[in-house]
Amino acid sequence: MPPVADDGGRPVVRPVTPADWALWREARIASLTASPEAFKARLADWERGGEEQWRARFDDPATYGVLAVRGARPVGLAAGLPAADGLPELRSVWVAPEARGQGLAGGLIGAVESWARGTGARTLRLSVLTANARAVALYERLGYATDGRAGQELIMTKRL
């Protein structure tokens, strides 16, 4: 059963379960369609894989996803992924243009930070395209600091 918004029609931020793969797909396709300049990934990368690729995204119990949902429609997403070096990573943060300015990005990121703390992590890392000034400013407001560069991306970290 899809989640519902509260009485005020505000989006609800909630964790993703494997059964939510289609809702995650809808949100991710929307993010890559509406804001392609914000992501290194491209829509074509995800369109090739089909349902199996979308389902596999949450087969790993170490992976965490969170959605912002208004009614039955996703309006935001973020993910937390384990990294080989042990530092969890914040990925795929996006809020639909019509839902921006309501604190959803902070809520989504906060949920991933809580997940990371729950894994015992003391630091959360992210990569953001240097040209995405709006996202860089958001991450800085939330306490992330630049820790390096990798090609066209800034590497930012936050002590949890």
The CATH number of whichever domain residue 63 belongs to comes to 3.40.630.30
C-alpha to C-alpha distance for 146 and 139, rounded to whole angstroms: 10
SS3 state at 121: coil
Residue 148 lies in a domain: no
Residue 156 lies in a domain: no
Q: What is the pLDDT of residue 2?
A: 38
Predicted model pTM: 0.86
Q: What is the pLDDT of residue 38?
A: 67
Residue 152 lies in a domain: no
C-alpha to C-alpha distance for 4 and 115, rounded to whole angstroms: 22
Residue 136 lies in a domain: no
pLDDT 10s per residue in the chain (160 long)? 233 445 457 899 999 998 898 898 899 888 888 776 766 666 666 666 677 777 777 778 889 999 999 998 999 999 999 988 889 999 989 999 999 999 999 999 999 999 999 999 999 999 999 999 999 999 999 999 999 999 999 999 999 9
C-alpha to C-alpha distance for 135 and 45, rounded to whole angstroms: 22
C-alpha to C-alpha distance for 117 and 160, rounded to whole angstroms: 7
In the chain, how many domains are there?
Answer: 1
Find out whether 110 and 99 touch, Cβ atoms under 8 Å: no
Residue 144 lies in a domain: no
Residue 24 lies in a domain: yes
Residue 86 lies in a domain: yes
Q: Containing domain of residue 77, as a range?
A: 12-121
Find out whether 126 and 144 touch, Cβ atoms under 8 Å: yes
Residue 25 lies in a domain: yes
